Amino acid sequence: MTEKVAIILAAGKSTRMKTNLPKVLHEVCGRPMLEYVFDACRNAGASKIYVIVGYGKDQIINRYSSQKDLVFIEQKEQKGTGHAVLCCKEYLKDFNGNTLVLCGDGPMICGETLKTIADKHESEKSVMTLGTAILDNPFGYGRIARDLYGNIQGIVEHNDCNEKQLQIKEINPSLYCFNNKILFEMLGQLKPNNAKNEYYITDVLHLIIAAGLKVIAVTAVSAEEAIGVNSRLQLSQVSKIMQSRIQEKLMDSGVTIVDPPNTWIDARAEIGQDTVIEPFTCIFGSVKIGDNCKIGPFAYIHDGIEIPNKTFSGVFKEYKK
């Protein structure tokens, strides 16, 4: 198995969110969205994760400086996604493996999906592999253009699509796997041929195709995994989906959640088998609840609380340290 690393793009400032906090540190069910992306990369087998930081870099670096598999690289000027990846050149110029590239504001991505993309990349001996998604409403996304044989021909940005291309439902959620050596060779050839005078990672695709090298697109990304966060509304939408994931995982492990839509459970919470969570319960932070408990209704459990086995709460109870 070829060694792989990951590059996470986390340098941008979200003007639409109207915030002083780096976008990737906004929380989804109690955890910064960036942490979910870290988890996905690790679960996919990345041996090292290169985090491209810019706006609010000190906040990000200070928070995660103790994590030994992370390397922080500053993008001093915001000159596009291609430029952001190129900032890693000195760190990866001698690396002979495969490199995953993804965005830090996509917390829904799963490690298994990244692994599928990376495994397909290796088995097909591809130079570049895109993970794509099928959306019922692909508005705003770049469309995947294929030929009659299904081979990828390029990515057409939404605003550049003709009427026929607008009907394409296969989109680019910005999840890539590259042969690292060729990635940086092609990045050196990028030109800022656009109105913003920026360097885009998507243009590497066209350079690789023009060079006659192999590119594949794998439709392995679910519609929910493709969601990125660029506004407070999208943050709330992602949080709702993530909450469902958290509760489903707990129920699969033997926890009863009586009324999931009216229950909120932090991603960091640990809950034991045969515990029942009654409606209108809020479990916030790194909480540990034992086996065979009954919590709620209307319980509010604070960060850091540990509740022993066989604990039964009343109609309303607020747990504090």
Q: Which of 16, 42, 63, 146 is catalytic?
A: 16
Distance CA 24, CA 9 (A): 10
Helix axes 111-123, 33-43, angle to 10 degrees: 40
Q: Interhelix angle for 57-64 vs 33-43, to 10°? A: 50
Catalytic site residue 16? yes
Q: Is the peptide bond before 297 cis (omega within 30 degrees of 0)?
A: yes
For residue 312, what is the DSSP state?
B
Hey, is 265 helix, strand or coil?
strand
Give the relative orientation of helices 202-210 and 180-187 as an angle to the nearest 10 degrees: 100
The set of residues, in sequence order, having a beta carbon less than 8 Å from that of 212 and lying 6+ positions away, is none
Question: Which residue in the block uniquely carries the two structure tokens 């495994």?
Answer: 119
Q: How far apart are CA 270 and CA 263, in angstroms?
A: 15
Q: Is there a contact between 42 and 69 (Cβ–Cβ < 8 Å)?
A: yes
Beta-sheet pairing, 31-32 with 27-28: antiparallel
Pairing of strands 176-179, 98-103: antiparallel
Residues tagged active-site = 16
